[in-house]
Amino acid sequence: MNTVPSLNIAGAQPLQFPIPANVYAQTVVSVRHYTDRLFSFRITRPQSLRFRSGEFVMIGLPNAEKPVFRAYSVASPSWDDELEFFSIKVPEGPLTSELQKIEIGDTILMRQKPTGTLVVDALTPAKRLFMISTGTGIAPFASLLRDPDTYEKFDQIVLAHTCRDNAELVYGQELVAALENDPLIGELTGGRVTLYNSTTREQSARMGRITALIASGKFYSDLNIEPLNPQTDRVMICGSMHMLRDVKELTESHGFKEGSLANPAEFVVERAFVG
């Protein structure tokens, strides 16, 4: 059976734990800390892994006989030869209290089956796609925005990202800024992606929860666009549990029907939290 050293605890001899069955052991290739609450990292991609852009995987650390696994949306597109993730850091979190300490060369465990509802195949074609996210909920959209299939299905994409403070918005701002120069999809994305940011706990150019900004109409007037309409639009939603519930309710109040791979329709909600 394969074993990998556990993460280094300063001065301690690395312990050896067996890699559980049906789990990939991958290597960290980069780590970037955005704030004391958010960081992103990239790992090597198992050759046999296939996933749809927007799906999530279960990841863990090789630091226990029975490691803790948590759902992480893959933030890189399905064609990328590495896997990217965008993570929160929870001081007492069973996984992220340790995960936030990873360094290049460390081992990440990943269960072998990707899954998820935030995939373009769960939506019927339309003119505009609205990606509504808060915090690390932007991750599946980072994947979808770098996938040519998204641009084949929709003409215009609006990415709404709300965070507590300005520094938490940087990941998404850099992502969108890099799209136009992307060698693979740069030509497709030109002029078709609009980023809509707001903060809720730090002063910024635009403040407020996305639910309030949509409900008041400010979202539409700021962007100079027509209101959400199931005839022309599709919606994808990803964020905290309460956010999912509230944005889903708001979307349904506009007459949108929830879709799935079996029955594609007008909006989809991340199911990693809501089960």
Which residues would be at the binding site for ligand A2P (CB under 6 A)? Answer: 134-135, 162-164, 200-201, 209-211, 239-240, 242-243, 246
Least Å distance between CB 200 and ligand A2P?
3
Least Å distance between CB 270 and ligand A2P?
12
Least Å distance between CB 126 and ligand A2P?
23
Task: Decide whether 64 or 274 has the Cβ nearer to ligand A2P.
Answer: 274
Structure tokens at 44: 């090597």
Nearest to 247 by CA among 202, 214, 207: 214
Q: How many CB atoms lie within 10 A of CB 74?
A: 28
Task: Decide whether 89 or 111 has the Cβ nearer to ligand A2P.
Answer: 89
From CA 72, how far away is CA 57, in angstroms rounded? 5
From CA 42, how far away is CA 198, in angstroms rounded? 27
Task: Decide whether 173 or 232 has the Cβ nearer to ligand A2P.
Answer: 173
Answer yes or no: are the C-beta atoms of 154 and 187 closer than 8 Å.
no
Answer yes or no: are the C-beta atoms of 128 and 157 closer than 8 Å.
yes
Nearest to 184 by CA among 134, 139, 150, 215: 150
Task: Decide whether 39 or 51 has the Cβ nearer to ligand A2P.
Answer: 39
> Which bin fits 178, alpha (ψ -120 to 50), beta or left (φ > 0)?
alpha
Q: How many CB atoms lie within 10 A of CB 115?
A: 15
Least Å distance between CB 37 and ligand A2P?
7
Task: Decide whether 6 or 211 has the Cβ nearer to ligand A2P.
Answer: 211
Task: Decide whether 113 or 242 has the Cβ nearer to ligand A2P.
Answer: 242
From CA 201, how far away is CA 55, in angstroms rounded? 30
Task: Decide whether 136 or 143 has the Cβ nearer to ligand A2P.
Answer: 136
H helices of 137-184, in order, are 139-144, 148-153, 170-179
From CA 212, how far away is CA 243, in angstroms rounded? 12
Nearest to 151 by CA among 177, 184, 115, 195: 184
Least Å distance between CB 26 and ligand A2P?
27
Least Å distance between CB 238 and ligand A2P?
11
Least Å distance between CB 199 and ligand A2P?
7
